C-alpha cells in the first residue's frame, strides 16, 4: 500500500469488489470504433447504444467515418416506448456470459469448441499433413460443434475425413486420378471418401463428444446448453454412423463428383466458407509443407515403425504442439459490443 494512500478521499470506497464492478461495467459495454484515420480500431463507450439488448437477426450497425458517428438501422419497426433490440453478432452463449453477462435462450449460433489434432507419432502423419495443407486446414486446431444440424462445419468434416483415412485413401488424394477434385470435395457431405471412412469418422466424433459430456458435472444454465449441444452431436454422429454402415454393408456405389455439380460445401454448416487450396510455396506464414515425393517417402519409412526417429503409433489423437488460432479481428462494421479478449471454452485434445 502506498504510504499516502490513507489521504485519498475515496480510499474506503475503493475496494476490490467495487473495482470488479467498475471493470465489469466497462468491459461489458465497450465497443470497437475506428480511429480518426480509419487505420485501426479502438475501444469506446457509446451513450445510449449500450442500453440495447440482444436479439436474433443481422448486424445492422456500422460506423460512418465521414460523419464520425455510429449508425444503427432498426431490425424492425418499433413503437414509441417499446424496447429496442440489436444483434450483437454470431456469438456462443459462453461468449455472451463472459463478455456481456447473460445467457441467450435458443441461441442458433451456440457452439462448443473442441480441440483436435493429428499426432506427429501417427505413422501416416506426413501424408495426412500434406492432404490437410492442400485443403487449407491445419493439422491441429480448435473446431466447433454447433447447436444446429448438422453439428459440424465443412472444415471439421474435411479434417475428420483426413484424420480417419487409410494409407491407400491418402495416396489417392495425393497421387491418384482426380486428386484435385478429391481435395475440393473433402468438406462436402455428399461425396464421402468411402463408406468405411464415414463410419470411422462419425464413430470417432460420437466417442469424443461422449467423453466431453462426462466432464460436465455442473448444471448451471450455460453448462446445460453446452451439454445439449454435445448430446445432439452424439445423436447425430450415431445416426450418421449407422447410415453409412448400412451403405457399406449394402455395398452401395459412392457418389461421383462432377464439376458441374452443386457447391463444394453444400449441405454443411458454414457452407459459405469455402475450403481453400493453399499455395504452399507462396503464402506467407503457411504451415511447413512437404512435396509429394517426400510425403510418400516418409509414409513408406513409417511402415517400418519410425517417423523422424520416433516410434510410431497409428492413428494417434493428440498433437504434441497445438496452437490455438485467435479469432479474426472484427471489422468496424462487425459485432456489436465487441469484447476485448477471447473467451475460453471447454475442448478436448
Render pLDDT for 138-194 as a digit per residue (tens, 0 to 9): 999 999 999 888 899 999 999 999 999 999 999 999 997 888 889 989 999 999 999
* Residue with the three cell numbers 483415412: 165
Which cell numbers hold the place of 229?
Answer: 449441444
Residue that wins the pLDDT comparison between 247 and 101: 247
Residue that wins the pLDDT comparison between 313 and 30: 30
Confidence of residue 218 (pLDDT cuts 50, 70, 90): low
Which cell numbers hold the place of 84?
Answer: 429496442
* Residue with the three cell numbers 499433413: 129
Peptide bond into 147 cis (omega under 30): no
pLDDT digits (tens, 9 = 90+) for 257-303: 765 444 444 444 443 333 433 333 333 333 333 444 554 444 444 33
What pTM, to 2 d.p., does this model score? 0.64
Confidence of residue 16 (pLDDT cuts 50, 70, 90): confident
Q: CA–CA separation, 250 vs 149, rounded Å?
A: 26
The CA-atom distances, in angstroms, between 24 and each of 55, 170, 218, 252 are 21, 50, 24, 57
Where are the chain's structural domains? 13-87, 111-311
Please give the average per-residue pLDDT across 93-116, as a whole number: 89
Q: CA–CA separation, 144 vs 138, rounded Å?
A: 15
Give the torsion sign (CA, 162, 166, 169, 173). positive
Please give the average per-residue pLDDT across 208-231, as a whole number: 83
- Quote the pLDDT of residue 3: 79
- Quote the pLDDT of residue 154: 93
Does pLDDT of 116 surpass 80? yes
Task: Flag the least confident range among 22-36, 135-149, 238-252.
Answer: 22-36
Q: Provide the mean pLDDT of the chain.
A: 75
Please write down the HEC assignment for all residues of 7-57: HCCCCCCCCHHHHHHHHHHHHCCCEEEECCCCCCEEEECCCCHHHCEECCC
8 A C-beta contact, residue 31 and residue 50: yes
- Quote the pLDDT of residue 169: 96
Residues with Cβ within 8 Å of residue 238, at least 6 apart in sequence: 202, 206
8 A C-beta contact, residue 145 and residue 206: no
Fold of 111-311: set domain protein methyltransferase, domain 2 (3.90.1420)
pLDDT digits (tens, 9 = 90+) for 38-89: 788 888 888 888 888 999 988 888 888 888 888 889 999 999 999 999 998 8
**Given the DSSP bridges, would you call strands 69-72 and 61-64 parallel, antiparallel or unpaired?**
antiparallel
Q: CA–CA separation, 145 vs 90, rounded Å?
A: 14
8 A C-beta contact, residue 128 and residue 122: yes
Please give the average per-residue pLDDT across 5-26, as a whole number: 80
Residues linked to residue 54 through DSSP beta bridges, in sequence order: 86
Residue 146: half-sphere exposure toward Cβ, Cα within 13 Å: 17
8 A C-beta contact, residue 23 and residue 29: no
**Burial class of residue 2, CB neighbours in 10 A (0-12, 13-18, 19+):** exposed
- Give which of 100, 107, 156 is closest to 273, Cα–Cα: 156
Amino acid at each position: 500500500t502506498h504510504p499516502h494512500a490513507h489521504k485519498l478521499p475515496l480510499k474506503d470506497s475503493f475496494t476490490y469488489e467495487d473495482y470488479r464492478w467498475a471493470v465489469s461495467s466497462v468491459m461489458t459495454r465497450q465497443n470497437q470504433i475506428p480511429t480518426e484515420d480509419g487505420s485501426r480500431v479502438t475501444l469506446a463507450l457509446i451513450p445510449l447504444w449500450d442500453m440495447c439488448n440482444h436479439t436474433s437477426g443481422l448486424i445492422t450497425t456500422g460506423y460512418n467515418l465521414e460523419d464520425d458517428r455510429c449508425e444503427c438501422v432498426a431490425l424492425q419497426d418499433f413503437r414509441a416506448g417499446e424496447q429496442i433490440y440489436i444483434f450483437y453478432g454470431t456469438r456462443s452463449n459462453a461468449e455472451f456470459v463472459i463478455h456481456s453477462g447473460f445467457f441467450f435462450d435458443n441461441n442458433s449460433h451456440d457452439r462448443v469448441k473442441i480441440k483436435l489434432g493429428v499426432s506427429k507419432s501417427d505413422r501416416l502423419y506426413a501424408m495426412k499433413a500434406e492432404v490437410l495443407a492442400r485443403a487449407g486446414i491445419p493439422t491441429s486446431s480448435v473446431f466447433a460443434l454447433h447447436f444446429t444440424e448438422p453439428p459440424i462445419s465443412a472444415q471439421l468434416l474435411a479434417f475428420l475425413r483426413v484424420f480417419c483415412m487409410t494409407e491407400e485413401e491418402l495416396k489417392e488424394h495425393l497421387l491418384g486420378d482426380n486428386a484435385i477434385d478429391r481435395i475440393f470435395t473433402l468438406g462436402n457431405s455428399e461425396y464421402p471418401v468411402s463408406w468405411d471412412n464415414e463410419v470411422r469418422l462419425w464413430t470417432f466424433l460420437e466417442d469424443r463428444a461422449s467423453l466431453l459430456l462426462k466432464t460436465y458435472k455442473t448444471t448451471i444454465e450455460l453448462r446445460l446448453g453446452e451439454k445439449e449441444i454435445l448430446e445432439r452431436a452424439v445423436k447425430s454422429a450415431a445416426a450418421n454412423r449407422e447410415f453409412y454402415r448400412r451403405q457399406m454393408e449394402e455395398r452401395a456405389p459412392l457418389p461421383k463428383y462432377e464439376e458441374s455439380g452443386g457447391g463444394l460445401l453444400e449441405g454443411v454448416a458454414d457452407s459459405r466458407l469455402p475450403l481453400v487450396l493453399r499455395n504452399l510455396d507462396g503464402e506467407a506464414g503457411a504451415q511447413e509443407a512437404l512435396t509429394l515425393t517426400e510425403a510418400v517417402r516418409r509414409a513408406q519409412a513409417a511402415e517400418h515403425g519410425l517417423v523422424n526417429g520416433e516410434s510410431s503409433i497409428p492413428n494417434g489423437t493428440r498433437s504434441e504442439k497445438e496452437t490455438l488460432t485467435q479469432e479474426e479481428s472484427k471489422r468496424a462494421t462487425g459485432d456489436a459490443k465487441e469484447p476485448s479478449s477471447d473467451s475460453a471454452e471447454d475442448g478436448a485434445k
